[in-house]
Structure 1
Amino acid sequence: MKTIIVDDEPKARSILHNLITEHCKGIEIVGQAQNIKEAVKLINSQTVELVFLDVEMPNENGFALFDYFERPTFETIFCTAYSAYALNAFEVSAIDYLLKPVSISKLQNAIEKAIKSRGQNQILERVNALRDNITVNQLQKIALPLSDGLFFIKVEDILYFEADGSYTYVITLKDKYMVSKKIKEFNDLLENDHRFYRVHRSYLVNIQQIKKYSKKDGANLVFENNQSIPVAREKRSDFDQYIGNLSV
């Protein structure tokens, strides 16, 4: 893949260049840029298939690159020193990132993903989802990997996640999506989001979408789609305390 490195720090560009040259096959570095305008010129002057893009740069941050292209065709791997919350935003937006200082194994994994994603042409959707997620303290969109690509869904529209072995059903008021991820992965991504609670080994729920909490004949939650799901016996006490302390 023909690749450029965009970073305002010469040392950072040099380190990444050396790591890619020494440890990553199939990557040809065709240019470097210290700001967004230089990066735009490089992309417009030749074929660029992959961009390593620093997020935190003076004047214009890395996201500004996508303001110059109506339909970008290059894959992007962000380089960042962002906080844990922000890294979570990268994950749910299906955007690859490298945390500085860069790990060789993570660099290689990110490049492998970029090669597999080449041609899907969904980079703009992913970046826009990331922008939405990273500019506020609450996740706004999540990318669901479906058989024909990625589908972006508003987090607030999710009623609950339902486990089915190595798959998870994502349930909204109108639709149901099957995703080839275990429910634990969604639980890990959303564990710091107060809107979601794992009430059962098979269910991760959006408590803002609960219509009724019934304690008759056990404990059950009824959602806006009128579906009812159980609260596990061992979870009831903690769940009662959680919703009792939370303003929904």
Structure 2
Amino acid sequence: MEKIKTLIVDDEPNARSLLHNFIEEYCPEIELIGEAENVKSAVKIINNNDIDLVFLDVEMPNENGFALFEYFNKPNFETIFCTAYSQYAIRAFEVSAVDYILKPVSIAKLKEAIEKVAEKRNRNTQTNNIAILKENLLENQIRKIGIHIGDGIVFMDINDIFYFEADSSYTTIHHKKGKDLVVKKIKHFENLLSSDTRFFRIHRSYFVNITLIKKYSKKDGLSITYDDKILLPVSREKKEEFEDFMQMNNIV
């Protein structure tokens, strides 16, 4: 298999050296083309070489890592972020389907991230997800999530999602254009959107967008309604917490 031509971008010499040594020792599929201490140096190397993959630090002086993408209309390289970023930012990486490694770098996470890149190359698929990532980081709330459907990734607007429905090890995402079944447990989405005030787990089977609810009924069993058609139960043990949650977020 053709080697993955790779560039390391980090302002810290020790961080570059550690990653370099890990790659040399544990990642035979990688061919290191060079290292850069800032974005401008990285741009020069990318323009003068056929780079497949960039390991990119986020927090750097003068220009942070995201500035790299301002120099390319459509980046033709994959990116693995190496970051000590906040927990919110990590969720933004996750939902944008961008690979990342938390510092200090571990060998296991490094190999896992490189495997993802290799898989994408084998499928000949290109992911242009940098714009989505930047949108999510700039917002107080996540705007889009990347959903693996078939061999690709569909970026879905959070505001278009009615609710997530548990189905054993799968989850059905009900949205304005229909529904999609994904190979993720509902707990994955609950954790992903744990700080998002638009979503609440009303039942063991349902994680719902409360901003799209048309009606909350306390008659004949607790329930919520979407579009006068979709009726979902609210579990008794969630009633008080759910009502407090809606009140706190100015829904009722």
Q: Secondary structure at the match of 2:214?
A: strand
TM-score (norm 2): 0.93
Per the alignment, residue 206 of structure 2 pairs with 203
Is the contact between residue 159 and residue 171 of structure 1 (CA under 8 Å) also seen in structure 2? yes
- Identity, % of aligned positions: 55
Gaps of 5+ in 2: none
Is the contact between residue 173 and residue 224 of structure 1 (CA under 8 Å) also seen in structure 2? no
1:189-225: CA deviations, max 9, x gaps? Answer: 0111111111111110011111100111111111137
TM-score (norm 1): 0.94
Query: Is 1:113 matched with 2:128?
Result: no
Match of 1:75 among 75, 78, 81: 78
In structure 2, distance between residues paired with 1:11 and 1:167: 42
Match of 2:163 among 160, 163, 174: 160
Q: Secondary structure at the match of 1:176?
A: strand
Per the alignment, residue 180 of structure 2 pairs with 177
Letter in 2 for 1:80: T
Q: Secondary structure at the match of 1:181?
A: coil
Is the contact between residue 160 and residue 203 of structure 1 (CA under 8 Å) also seen in structure 2? yes
Gaps of 5+ in 1: none
Report the alpha carbon displacement of residue 186 of structure 1 after superposing the two structures with TM: 0.5
Instruction: Say what the alpha-carbon RMSD is for the aligned residues.
Output: 1.4
Report the alpha carbon displacement of residue 26 of structure 1 after superposing the two structures with TM: 0.9
Per the alignment, residue 67 of structure 2 pairs with 64
Match of 1:145 among 138, 145, 148: 148
Match of 2:197 among 183, 186, 194: 194
In structure 2, distance between residues paired with 1:62 and 1:160: 34
In structure 1, distance between residues paired with 2:82 and 2:219: 52
Letter in 2 for 1:92: V
Match of 2:134 among 106, 112, 131: 131
Q: Secondary structure at the match of 1:151?
A: strand
Report the alpha carbon displacement of residue 136 of structure 1 after superposing the two structures with TM: 2.2
In structure 1, distance between residues paired with 2:50 and 2:206: 46
Per the alignment, residue 42 of structure 2 pairs with 39
Match of 1:11 among 14, 35, 60: 14
Q: How many matched pairs? A: 246
In structure 1, distance between residues paired with 2:207 and 2:170: 13
Match of 2:25 among 22, 27, 52: 22
Q: Secondary structure at the match of 1:142?
A: strand
